Structure formats: structure tokens, C-alpha cells
Amino acid sequence: MASPNPPPTGSDKTNFPSDASLPGEHFEVRQTHLTGDYKPDPSKSLPLSPARQALVDDIIALYEMRPTVERVRRYTADCVYNDQFVYANDRHKMAGQWFALPKLFKSAQSQGYQVVTNDRDLIQFRHEEAWTFKIIPKTAVINALVSLSLDPASLDSDFIRVKYHKDQANDQDYSNEGFGATLKKWQSDNVVKLMSSPEVKAFEADRDAGKAPRRTYGEGRGDAPVKDL
């Protein structure tokens, strides 16, 4: 029987293990880019199935500081989030990050996105976001490549979930080691301790979710191939 939610005009290519019991650390996509220019062209965005579009819509809503418990449930309990400033390796820490954003920013507005990869277990999109700080009246516009490594157990469901969320804003991949990586992990480990909202507390049980050691890659290149996304 055909999958109820196949990726239309997409790819059957798989990038990660099919074992959903593996922690999110096993689902990290690795890539570098020739220029680091991730400015999106929405007119060239790949089409998505309704279930996949709903996932991307929820992720965009999180970026726009519209978190809800249901939207955070888009992640598995053992998920990983990795960007320039944060490394969070369970859904409780992830919730702390999303619900903390309004404390730091006055507004966050998505300026557009372009889906560039629609594989069986991976969705990637170029994303432009305008962040306006609370204390300093300044707006920063950031173009980044967002990679969503999908949970094998929910690929064919109406509520697809994410194992690993990576956000890259330049041409290099992350080394996941050194002082910068330590600071990113310290930030995510401690921000959640300051969040007492019931929405964040809803994910406290996820602190015990399965984890794997953080993989490291020296200067960041490691096994990260150059991809023109």
C-alpha cells in the first residue's frame, strides 16, 4: 500500500537510521556551503505534502515567537537542537529555548523561506528572519539553512516529528567542540532552569530522554560535504 503522505515531487532518498529508538544525536546532517548565502527565493520552493507543510508551518511559528505545547511536541523527547548559539539535547531544554525568546526579543518575523530538500527523512529550507531586540532598538536580519531530520516513527503520520533541528547561518558546519560548543551547551542547560512556566514544565519528563555523546568534528569540516542548497 502506498504511503498516505509521500513527499510529492520529492525524493525517496534516506539520510539517517531507520531505528526511531536511537537518540537525536544519530540524526545530524552534515554540510558546508560554497558561500554561506542562504537567502531564500520562495518562488522556487519545493512543494510539500499537507503533513509536511503543517510541520514547516509549526516550525516557522516557533521562530516567530508563537510557541505552544503542541508545537513543541513536534520534536521527539530525545531531540537535538543545534545553531550558532544553542545546543539543546532533549525536548525540555528545547522548550526552554522557544518559550524564552520573547524575553530577549521584541519581535521576530519570518521574511520568507524556500524548501530546497524534500527527502524521505529530511526537509531543508532557506529561511530569512528579522529579529528585533528588546533592550537595544535594533533589528537583525539573518538568512540561514534550517535542516529538519525527521523521526522515522512518524514519517507517514499526520503529525511528523523532528529528531534533529540544525540552523546554519554561514558556510561552515559546527565542530560541536571547543569553547564555543561548551558555551552553547551551558546556555541551553541553564536557560531552562530559569523557565517556570507551565508550558515548559509540561516537558520536564523529557530530561530523562535517551541521549548519546555529542559527536565532534575538529575544525567543523569533518565529514561535512559541500552542498549547493
The DSSP code sequence of 81-105 is EE-SS-EE-SHHHHHHHHHHHHHHE
Half-sphere exposure of 71 (CA within 13 A, CB side): 19
The boundaries of the domain holding residue 169 are 24-208
Q: How far is Cα 92 from Cα 109, in angstroms, rounded to an integer? A: 24
Q: What is the mean pLDDT of residues 86-90?
A: 97
Q: Residue 96: inside a domain, yes or no?
A: yes
Query: What whole-number percentage of the chain has pLDDT above 90?
Result: 88
Contact present, 124 and 113 (Cβ < 8 Å): no
Q: Residue 45: inside a domain, yes or no?
A: yes
Q: Residue 55: inside a domain, yes or no?
A: yes
Amino acid letter for position 141: V
130 backbone dihedrals φ, ψ, rounded to 5°: -105, 120
Q: Residue 7: inside a domain, yes or no?
A: no
pLDDT of residue 9: 57
Q: Residue 11: inside a domain, yes or no?
A: no
> Which is it for the CA torsion 167, 32, 155, 42, positive or negative?
positive
Q: How far is Cα 220 from Cα 30, in angstroms, rounded to an integer? A: 9
Contact present, 150 and 191 (Cβ < 8 Å): no
pLDDT digits (tens, 9 = 90+) for 177-190: 999 999 999 999 99
Amino acid letter for position 115: V
Which pLDDT band, with edges at 50, 70 and 90, does 160 fall under? very high
Most confident segment among 132-136, 165-169, 192-196 = 165-169
pLDDT digits (tens, 9 = 90+) for 44-77: 999 999 999 999 999 999 999 999 999 999 999 9
Is 2 a residue whose pLDDT tops 50?
A: no
Residues 6+ apart with CB under 8 A from 98: 62, 67, 71, 72
Global confidence as pTM: 0.94
Q: Residue 190: inside a domain, yes or no?
A: yes
Q: Which three three-digit cell numbers place residue 51?
A: 503533513
pLDDT of residue 229: 86
Q: Residue 226: inside a domain, yes or no?
A: no
Q: How far is Cα 57 from Cα 61, in angstroms, rounded to an integer? A: 6
Distance of CA 61 to the CA centre of its chain: 13
pLDDT digits (tens, 9 = 90+) for 12-33: 999 999 999 999 999 999 999 9
Overall number of domains in the chain:
1
Q: How far is Cα 98 from Cα 23, in angstroms, rounded to an integer? A: 21
Residue ranges in 48-131 assigned as alpha helix (H): 50-63, 69-72, 91-104
Residue 175 sits in a domain whose CATH number is: 3.10.450.50
